[in-house]
Amino acid sequence: MRTTVRRWSLALSAAAVLMFPLASWAQLTTYDIDKRLDMESHIGNMTGHAKDGKADYRRYCVVCHGPLGDGNGESFPWVDPKPRDFQLGVFKCRSTPTGTLPTDEDLFDTIARGLDRSNMPQWSTFTKQQRADLVAWVKHFSPRWANEKPGTPIQIPAEPEVTPDRIRAGRDVFARVQCWKCHGVLGQANGPSAATLTDDLGRPIAPYNFTEGARPKCGETDRDIYRIFMTGLDGTPMPSYADNIKPDEAWDLVFYLRTLMSQHSKEKEMAKQLNLKPVDPNAPAGQQ
Amino acid sequence: MSMRMKSRRGQISSWVASVFILVLLVVSASPSANALPAFARKYGLRCSACHESWPMLNYFGQKFKDNGYQLMNDRDAPIWQNPGYWPVTFRMTPIWHRVSTGKVLVDTYSAGSSTPTGSAVQRITTSGFDLSGLDFHTGGTLEKNFSFYLLPSSDPTGAFHFESVFARLDNLFGSPWLNVKLGKFELDNLLSEKRILTLTGNGGIYQIYHFIPVGDGNIFGQMGDNQLGVEVMGHSWDDRTRYSAAILSSNDGTTQLPYGNAYTGFFTASQAFDTGRAGVQRIGGYAMIGEAPTTWLTSGGPSSYIAGSGIGNKSFSREGFFGQFYFGQHVDLQVVTQHGQDSAWFGQGYGDVIDGVSSVNNTTGTTLPAGSLAPTWNGVLFEPHYVYSPQLIFIGRYETIRMSQQSTPGTPSNLGNISTYTVGYRYNPFMTSRAGFAWHNEYNWLHQDGTGPTLGLTNPNVNTSEVLMGFDFDF
């Protein structure tokens, strides 16, 4: 009996000792990340410090984005879209050209705005300083910020007056750059490619449904919509059209996209008066 | 010392060391740091996202509630949930507690007699294992911008009542400034008693939300009780600015119209301020202004009151300020003040005869005793918290209520005054989006002036204390 007790005692002690390296194994990656704990963010004249964002991250964000910022939190299996992997340093909502890092303000705004049709709430309850600290904390997960500078925000010309001609021209742009292939001719997210779309990590992803009434993920103002298709949503199949659409045409497209949305707008009224038809995918180029 | 004893001591030491190490490992390996798991499950968020410490809301949780239990991410409607999702949470609390009540009037007996021969005053202390009631929390959305809450709640014997039942129209006309709620609900107290962090009999409520002067017959001004009515509330998109106005039946949340046709209004407004790393500070005010009956029709005798026949409404009011002050991520202080006033009629014991609180009826020709005054009082509560982490919170509270005017001239000015202290902590060994569990420890001490039996004593004060520990869990 005594021998059995001693054997169990030894086994338990051995198990305890063996578990220590396992616990520290998870710390290896943390060690790499912790080297960037001095990361800062700069929002206006405010400076965010990564270390000061840690507690809020652990309280509010870790359940989805995970302790290592890799998007592998405990809710990962249940939420769709999946949480962002901050270690990759790739973000959808940016004011900067495709492929570049977002500005601190981009991340700052995203935290407060949230991401519609996802589990990312509007964290507008934070103080600005808390958000700035969280931006720095988010940045510290990715080595990209240690090696690269954010891109330069794209220039958005002043918004012109909306006219019937501009809405028609916007429809032509919608047809020419083939937005309908994913978003559908009526913006119902049912284009021929919609079912095949995947994000950069190979996960199925749905295009934005303009008719559903939901706010676009990266903002709902005209300037936000302009910015979305001119910068693209990195990590998703939505590319940047900065090389295909001229700035003036981009405003035309914004006005046409407004006609597809369920919310009341002057563009929608104008389209009604024009009896504007949806794009015809089979029409020859320039003959919509 | 024999070799045998040494060997045995060695084995015990080895076992203790092994168990200690394992416990240490289990504790340290627990997921980093509780909520209605029904909401947490729906949104994949941990309790700590909405609760400073469950069940007390933090600012984000308050905004979620103000939005009608919606994150406003266009995925709030049930249609977006897995059909197997059922928005129900059960909460119960097995406890051990020791309650010590001072100056209880007890009968005395002479030897061999079963008939009381006199009275004495003594302290009664009792302790043992116990249960709280069982709460079935169900809440959420019926559709986008249509929310509901249903809370059947039992006492420890299993007798159920409806603690909360309401439906709410959210964001009317697309604006967060207009939301309408109808049913039985908690008043818009930002320091919510239904979300209180303490569990003892006296510490588990906010005394200033329930204070009634000694001898007063008005039970209808209890801000801490859920009330039946309709509430209009609104808030800014970030919830910095909030207001609400509610019209309530003056029945203290009792169903089936047992009292009369009297109504109460409850109004509150607050503004929050961004103070950088200190956090968001909020200050605001509230007012509860109402009427309740003092005259009751009878049938078959002067004490056979007819339920629902109350007339002769008299007024009462409760008003005050509140503040939620944060000093960084770990320390905060919640403050509520109150000035209360009841009509002199209530002060003289008229009021709720249906429940036996009052035994006098304001019948035709009744007059108040000469010099009767409207009782008034002032109260304040301070509740500091030290939030070590979302999993561990230390709680303190001091409340005091002081009568500023007694209804009957000559009454000791301090009769009924209350002072109470509560300290405790809650530790959540784990924190997930699936269930909540807290190891709860608390001590409360309450002192009330002049309410003890006057057996050879002049206005004896009563001290009551309770120590409680238990498991508070929900799933």
- Beta bridge partners, B183, equal B166, B229
Q: How confident is the model at residue B192 (pLDDT cuts 50, 70, 90)?
A: very high
Residue B24 forms part of a structural domain: no
Task: Please report residues of A whose CB lies closer than 8 A to that of B277.
Answer: 52, 127, 129-130, 133
pLDDT tops 70 at residue A288: no
**Residue B46's closest chain A neighbor by CA?**
A63
CA atoms in the 13 A half-sphere facing the CB of A14: 6
- Structure tokens, B259: 């009292």
- A283: DSSP letter: S
- Beta bridge partners, B376, equal B341, B405
By the 10 Å C-beta count (0-12 exposed, 13-18 middle, 19+ buried), B342 is classed as buried
Digit-coded pLDDT (tens) for B130-158? 999 999 999 999 999 999 999 999 998 99
Residue B402 forms part of a structural domain: yes
Digit-coded pLDDT (tens) for B344-384? 999 999 999 999 999 999 999 999 999 999 999 999 999 99
Q: Which pLDDT does position A7 carry in this prediction?
A: 63
* Position with higher pLDDT, B106 vs B86: B106
Residue B164 forms part of a structural domain: yes
Indicate the class that CATH gives domain A164-274: mainly alpha
Averaged pLDDT, B195-208? 96
CA atoms in the 13 A half-sphere facing the CB of B299: 4
**A165 CB-near residues (< 8 Å, 6+ apart):** none
**B234 CB-near residues (< 8 Å, 6+ apart):** B175, B176, B177, B178, B179, B242, B243, B244
Rounded to whole angstroms, the Cα distance separating A107 from B287 reads 41
Q: Which pLDDT does position B14 carry in this prediction?
A: 59
Cβ pair B323, B275 in contact under 8 A? no
Q: Where is average pLDDT lowest: A284-288, B435-439, B469-473?
A: A284-288
pLDDT tops 50 at residue B31: no
Residue B12 forms part of a structural domain: no
Residues 42 through 101 of chain A touching chain B, CB cutoff 8 Å: 52, 55-56, 58-60, 62-64, 67, 74-75, 78-79
Digit-coded pLDDT (tens) for A116-171? 999 999 999 999 999 999 999 999 999 999 899 999 999 999 999 999 999 999 99
Q: How confident is the model at residue B457 (pLDDT cuts 50, 70, 90)?
A: confident
Q: Which pLDDT does position B27 carry in this prediction?
A: 38
| Phi, psi dihedral angles at B70 (to 5 degrees) | -130, 145
Query: Sign of torsion, CA A46 A52 A54 A57?
Result: negative
Q: How confident is the model at residue B455 (pLDDT cuts 50, 70, 90)?
A: confident
Which three-class secondary structure state does DSSP give residue A101?
strand
Q: Which of B7, B18, B48 sits opposite A16 (nearest CB)?
A: B18
Task: Please report residues of B whose CB lies closer than 8 A to that of A127.
Answer: 274-280
Q: How confident is the model at residue A12 (pLDDT cuts 50, 70, 90)?
A: low
Rounded to whole angstroms, the Cα distance separating B85 from B68 reads 18
Q: Which pLDDT does position B25 carry in this prediction?
A: 41
pTM of the model: 0.88
Q: Which pLDDT does position B23 carry in this prediction?
A: 44
Q: Which pLDDT does position B5 carry in this prediction?
A: 52
Residue B132 forms part of a structural domain: yes
- Structure tokens, B54: 């469950």
Closest chain A C-alpha to B61 CA, distance in angstroms: 10
Closest chain B C-alpha to A260 CA, distance in angstroms: 18
* Residue ranges of E strands in A64-120: none
- Structure tokens, B228: 């039946």
Long-range contacts of B77-81 (CB under 8 A, 24+ apart): B77/B141, B77/B143, B77/B144, B78/B140, B78/B141, B78/B142, B78/B143, B79/B143, B81/B42
* Position with higher pLDDT, A28 vs B298: B298
Helix crossing, A222-231 with A247-260: angle to 10°? 120
Averaged pLDDT, B230-253? 97
Say whether the ipTM exceeds 0.90: no
- Structure tokens, A13: 């002690």
Averaged pLDDT, A61-71? 95
Cβ pair B470, B94 in contact under 8 A? yes
Residues 214 through 243 of chain A touching chain B, CB cutoff 8 Å: 214-215
Digit-coded pLDDT (tens) for A201-252? 999 999 999 998 888 999 999 999 999 999 999 999 999 999 999 999 999 9
- Beta bridge partners, B175, equal none
- Cβ A23–B25 below 8 Å, yes or no? yes
Q: Which of A12, A60, A78 sits opposite B49 (nearest CB)?
A: A60
Is the N-terminal amide bond of A81 cis, ω within 30° of 0?
A: yes
Which three-class secondary structure state does DSSP give residue A204?
strand
CATH number of the domain enclosing B130:
2.40.160.10
Task: Please report residues of A whose CB lies closer than 8 A to that of B45.
Answer: 63-64, 75, 119, 121
- Total domains, chain B: 1
pLDDT tops 70 at residue A111: yes
Q: Which pLDDT does position A52 carry in this prediction?
A: 95
Closest chain B C-alpha to A288 CA, distance in angstroms: 34
- Identity of the amino acid at A71: G
Short-list B232, B214, B449, B218, CA closest to B315 = B218
Angle at B47 between CA B78 and CA B58, to 5 degrees: 100
Mutate to test the interface with B, among A6, A10, A61, A75 (most CBs of B within 10 A): A75
**Residue A120's closest chain B neighbor by CA?**
B73
CA-CA-CA-CA torsion for B195, B200, B205, B210, nearest 10 degrees? 160
Q: How confident is the model at residue A24 (pLDDT cuts 50, 70, 90)?
A: very low
CA-CA-CA-CA torsion for A110, A112, A114, A119, nearest 10 degrees? 120
Closest chain B C-alpha to A122 CA, distance in angstroms: 7
Widest CA span in chain B: 95
- Structure tokens, A171: 């429809």
Q: Which residue has the tokens 């084995």?
A: B11
Rounded to whole angstroms, the Cα distance separating B468 from B97 reads 4
* Position with higher pLDDT, B18 vs A61: A61
Q: Which pLDDT does position B267 carry in this prediction?
A: 98
pLDDT tops 60 at residue B323: yes
Which three-class secondary structure state does DSSP give residue A144?
helix
CA atoms in the 13 A half-sphere facing the CB of B358: 28
Average pLDDT taken over every residue of chain B: 92
Mutate to test the interface with A, among B13, B43, B241 (most CBs of A within 10 A): B43
Q: Which pLDDT does position A189 carry in this prediction?
A: 96
Q: Which pLDDT does position B138 carry in this prediction?
A: 94
pLDDT tops 70 at residue A21: no
Residue B19 forms part of a structural domain: no
Q: Where is average pLDDT lowest: B12-21, B364-373, B427-436?
A: B12-21
Task: Please report residues of A whose CB lies closer than 8 A to that of B63.
Answer: 124-125
CA atoms in the 13 A half-sphere facing the CB of A113: 19
Closest chain A C-alpha to B282 CA, distance in angstroms: 12
Residue B17 forms part of a structural domain: no
- Beta bridge partners, B324, equal B282, B334
Which H, E and C letters describe chain B, residue by residue? CCHHHHHHHHHHHHHHHHHHHHHHHHHHHCCCCCCCHHHHHHHCCCHHHHEEECCEECHHHHHHHHCCCCCCCCCCCHHHCCCCCCCEEEEECEEEEEEEEEEEEEEEECCCCCCEEEEEEEEEEEEEEEECCCEEEEEEEEECCEEEEEEEEECCCCCEEEEEEEEEECCHHHCCCCEEEEEEECCCCCCCCCCCCCCCCCCCCCHHHCCCCCCCECCCCCCCCCEEEEEEEEECCCCCEEEEEEEEECCCCCCCCCCECCEEEEEEEEEEEECHHHCEEEEEEEEEEEEECCECCECCCCCCECCCCEECCEEEEEEEEEEEEEECCCEEEEEEEEEEEECHHHHCCEECCCCCCCCECCCCCCCCCCCCCCCEEEEEEEEEEEEEECCEEEEEEEEEEEEEECCCCCCCCCCCCEEEEEEEEEECCCCCCCCEEEEEEEEEEEEECCCCCCCCCCCCCEEEEEEEEEEEEEC
Cβ pair B266, B253 in contact under 8 A? no
Rounded to whole angstroms, the Cα distance separating B76 from B43 reads 9
Classify each residue of B371-397 as buried b or exposed e, where b means 16 or more C-beta atoms within 10 Å of its C-beta.
ebebbbbebbbebbbebebbbbbbbbb
Classify domain A40-147 at the CATH superfamily level: Cytochrome c-like domain (1.10.760.10)
Rounded to whole angstroms, the Cα distance separating B207 from B219 reads 13
pLDDT tops 90 at residue B12: no
Cβ pair A265, A256 in contact under 8 A? no
Q: Which of A19, A78, A133 sits opposite B44 (nearest CB)?
A: A78
Averaged pLDDT, B157-170? 96
Rounded to whole angstroms, the Cα distance separating A148 from A135 reads 16
Residue B8 forms part of a structural domain: no
Q: Where is average pLDDT lowest: A102-106, B387-391, B420-424?
A: B387-391
| Distance from the Cα of residue B121 to its chain's centroid | 31
Q: Which of B11, B28, B390 sits opposite A59 (nearest CB)?
A: B390
| CA separation, residue A48 to residues A111, B3, B114, B290 (Å) | 14, 64, 77, 49
Digit-coded pLDDT (tens) for B43-91? 888 899 999 999 999 999 999 999 999 999 888 998 888 888 888 999 9
Rounded to whole angstroms, the Cα distance separating A85 from A80 reads 14
| CA separation, residue B152 to residues A226, B233, B248 (Å) | 51, 24, 20
Domain that holds residue B167: 33-108+118-474
Q: Which residue ranges make up each domain of chain A?
A: 40-147, 164-274
Give the ranges where A57-177 is alpha helix by DSSP (H): 62-65, 104-113, 128-139, 144-147, 164-176
Q: Percentage of residues in chain B with pLDDT exceeding 90? A: 83
CA-CA-CA-CA torsion for B386, B53, B384, B92, nearest 10 degrees? -120
Rounded to whole angstroms, the Cα distance separating B67 from B177 reads 10
pLDDT tops 50 at residue A57: yes
- Cβ A119–B73 below 8 Å, yes or no? yes
